[in-house]
Amino acid sequence: MNRESLLVIGASSLVGRRLVELLAQEPYAERHAARFTSSKPRDGRLLLDLSRPNDFAPDEPPTTVVFCCPIRMVSTEALTRLHVLGMRRVVAFSSTSRFTKTDSAEPAERAAADDLIAAEDRLTTFARAHGVGYTILRPTIIYDEGFDKNITRIAAFIRRFGFFIVCGRADGLRQPVHARDLARAVLQTLEHDAAHNQAYELSGGETLTYREMVRRVFEGLGRPPRIISLPALAWRVGFSMLGLARRRRTSLQENVQMALRMNKDMIFDHGAATRDFGYSPVEFRPQFGPPAPPPR
């Protein structure tokens, strides 16, 4: 890997910010961190608007590109521009949702899974046609205390109400993975030739039920677990009534599917990643500090 020409796209994303932290500890002569939005650049970062990739003209052409932004945002036009600039190696993040939501009862979730599949196909087709080495990483539930929209959302509910509601037994299996482990995985794939032209499922360091996952969040908050179980029918009826009242049927139906999935196993084997580049994630032991004060 050419350590002097690494470009991170989505440096302010959940995994991107952890990757930038790791890069700061490495002996890279040059580091490029590009945002994937059109906001003003800061902290010495480059600006890359993926809707206008041909405007991107960095002083140091990148040979290695890491997409920490959603893979659906990676267009053929963007790949073409980066290849013209010198890209010869690419790592991109997809999601195991491409497998778990294909049979969802909610059309929007099935569409999201289809988008992931199409985006992966788009990247791999381009890479193979242009001789670019690629690696696609598909994490399970990503968490980073205080920043993610999964585990941190559970913690926020517990902080506010002192309890958490689950669907039925909530015995579906989960494998939360920390953003730090995913950032390390990126650098590991770049150091191992076996990871070229491959896709990997990246799960967390242990498998536990949804209920146990929630209990660990209580533990990380230093609070006794108060978990309330409601049957699936109660969830369906409750969200149907909210849908009639709020006229937000689509988003509420998605919430119903999220609740029902608490009893569905969503586990993946990361053995191939361990074999090919030494992937070794930590157990799920989240630690939450005091909540941030409200803005003044």
pLDDT exceeds cutoff 90 at 165: yes
Residue with tokens 């990126």: 186
In a domain, 72, yes or no: yes
Domain that holds residue 221: 6-277
In a domain, 218, yes or no: yes
State which amino acid sits at residue 150: N
Alpha helices by DSSP H, listed for 131-178, are: 151-161
Which among 233, 253, 235, 229 has a CA at the least distance from the CA of 243?
253
| pLDDT mean over 65-92 | 96
In a domain, 49, yes or no: yes
Please tell me the predicted confidence (pLDDT) of residue 96. Answer: 97
Output the DSSP codes for 215-279.
HHHHHHHT----EEEE-HHHHHHHHHHHHHHH--HHHHHHHHHHHHGGGS------HHHHHHH--
Reading the block at residue 221, the tokens are: 């908050």
| pLDDT mean over 1-17 | 81
- As separate numbers, helices (DSSP H) first and strands (DSSP E) second, the chain gives 10, 13
Cα–Cα distance for residue pair 140/258, rounded to 1 Å: 15
Reading the block at residue 284, the tokens are: 């799920």
State the angle between helix axes of 151-161 and 210-221 in degrees (0 to 180), rounded to the nearest 10: 60
- Which of 68-82, 201-215, 243-257, 271-285 is the least confident region? 243-257
- 215 or 52, which is more confident? 215
In a domain, 294, yes or no: no
Please say whether the beta carbons of 123 and 134 come within 8 A: yes
Residues of the chain with pLDDT > 90: what percent? 68
225 C-beta neighbours (distance < 10 Å), count: 16
Q: Can you tell me whether residue 101 is helix, strand or coil?
A: coil
In a domain, 90, yes or no: yes
In a domain, 283, yes or no: no
Domain of 170: which CATH number? Answer: 3.40.50.720
pLDDT band at 86 (very low <50, low <70, confident <90, very high): very high
pLDDT exceeds cutoff 80 at 285: yes
Reading the block at residue 2, the tokens are: 């050419």
- 276 or 30, which is more confident? 276
Please tell me the predicted confidence (pLDDT) of residue 51. Answer: 87
Degrees, nearest 5: CA angle 173-178-181: 120
Please tell me the predicted confidence (pLDDT) of residue 33. Answer: 57
Cα–Cα distance for residue pair 174/157, rounded to 1 Å: 19
In a domain, 284, yes or no: no
In a domain, 288, yes or no: no
By CB neighbour count within 10 A (0-12 exposed, 13-18 middle, 19+ buried), where does 192 fall?
middle
Cα–Cα distance for residue pair 75/253, rounded to 1 Å: 30
Mean of pLDDT over the chain: 87
Cα–Cα distance for residue pair 109/266, rounded to 1 Å: 15
Q: Say how many domains are in the chain.
A: 1
Cα–Cα distance for residue pair 272/277, rounded to 1 Å: 8
Please tell me the predicted confidence (pLDDT) of residue 82. Answer: 96
Please tell me the predicted confidence (pLDDT) of residue 292. Answer: 56
State which amino acid sits at residue 249: R
Reading the block at residue 222, the tokens are: 């230093």
Reading the block at residue 36, the tokens are: 């994937």
| pLDDT mean over 179-201 | 97
Cα–Cα distance for residue pair 40/293, rounded to 1 Å: 26
269 C-beta neighbours (distance < 10 Å), count: 10
Tens digits of residue pLDDT in 25-47: 875 544 555 554 434 455 556 77
What are the backbone dihedrals phi and psi of residue 33, each rounded to the nearest 5 degrees, phi first?
-125, 110
